[in-house]
Structures are given as structure tokens and as C-alpha cells.
Amino acid sequence: MKKISQIFIFCNWKTYFLSTKNAISMIDKIKTQKNKVVIGIAPTSLHIESIKNKLKRKSMLCGAQYISENTGGANTGETTKEQIKKEKIDFVIVGHNERRKMGDNINKQIKNTVSVKIMPILCIGESKGESAQTTLKKQLKEALKGVSTKDCSGVVFAYEPVKFIGKKNPMKTIEINSRMKTIKKILKDNYKITNPVVLYGGSVNETNAVDILQNGNCNGLLIGRASTNPVAFNKILKCISINK
């Protein structure tokens, strides 16, 4: 059985937890493993202040689900780069399909994130019927336009094929492997990124996580709903620990 090397587990909690109390309860139930697994949690912005120190005490990263393309104070309902920097957030999720549909300016969001020295997790992925090669290349070109090679090398990439988000089963690992090769080649050829961190996201759960990591040619996972279930999430972490 193929061993899993250094991996990254990032969790998008979306708006699953209605209260700070419930979010904190989930963190308390996470059983971190003594191995080289980087875990990052992105709660809703309302909960960040209350839980970020608890995450850090458990050696987990705290992220934001959104950063505004705008700057300054007169931006009702937004979360700006100045606020993100002030909160000492570790990473920001940018370009998730649920945000792309709202018309986010992903390029400006990436630039705002790297400008305050915070790690972006850039989500990319084709929709049903689209050419993966064409779509991925276009999404990367649009998102990274005008971003320096140095800043590009600090971006974490998350491949999330749209038709597999929130479904019962993920993409087959042979297909994930192929997409990872495509993404890494595009990044090497066009952005001089030779060792990118590329995650897979899309219907990841406790029954398929290890298979994806072992056979999908990815560096980690971006997990949604399963990361809010303590039994499921701890099983994922335990299985990863056993197979490292």
C-alpha cells in the first residue's frame, strides 16, 4: 500500500454551524494526530474571533472563507484585506464555486490576499460538459494575472470539479490523478511553480479520503460537510495517520 507523505487538510465550514458554541464544540472534539498533517479550519467570519486562539492552541490554522476585492472602510457587508490582516488569519479560500457564481473578482481577491502576506487557497474546477484542460488553464490565467512568480509560488491550489461538490461520491481517483498532472503541468509551464501544493475537494468523506490521497496524486484535501462531523473527521485523520 502506498504511503502518504506530507499532507494538508483544509476545512471549509461554510455556514454549517449556526452558533459559536457549536463551532467551539467541534474543535474540542477534533483529535489531532501526532504526524506531519497540516490542518486548517475556515469558519464563518462571525466565529473567527472566538475560535482562532483555540485552533492555534491545537496547532491548527485558522482561515477565512472570503476576502473582498475592495479595500478601505466604506464597504458594507464585506471582509477586507485590512481586517483579515488585523485578525492574523493564516489563509483565505478564494474562488470557490459557490462564490464564483456570485461574480467575485478572483484576481483582485488573490492580489489582496498576497499583499497582506496571507496564503490564498485558490479553488479551480470545470463544470459539467466543459473541457478540463481549457477551463483550468483559463481559470488559472484569470486568477493569477499580474501576480508575481514569488507570490504565485505561495498559493495553495484546490481542484474541485463542480459536478462532484456536495454529492455522494467523489471523482474517480484515476481521473483525479489525471487532473492533478494537468494542473501541475500548467503551473510549471506557465508560472514556474515546480512543487505546487494541490488539494482535491468534492464529496470527500471518511470512506474515500485515504484512497484519494494515496492514488489521486494530490497533496491534500479541501473538505466541506464531513469536516463538521466529529466522528467522520476524526476517522479521516486517524486513517491518514495510520497510512503515513
> Catalytic positions, please?
96, 160
| Distances, alpha carbon 213 to alpha carbons 13, 18, 34, in Å | 21, 31, 18
User: 91, 199, 109: which is closest to 146 by C-alpha?
Assistant: 109
Please give the Cα distance from 195 to 133 (Å, whole number): 19
Please give the Cα distance from 126 to 144 (Å, whole number): 17
**For every residue of 82-100, which 3-state class applies, written as one string?**
HHHHHCCCCEEEECCHHHH
User: 123, 241, 237, 138: which is closest to 186 by C-alpha?
Assistant: 138
Please give the Cα distance from 82 to 71 (Å, whole number): 7
DSSP string, 83-151: HHHHTT-SEEEE--HHHHTTT--HHHHHHHHHHTT-EEEEEE-PPTTS-HHHHHHHHHHHHHTT--HHH
φ/ψ (deg, to 5) at 78: -95, 165
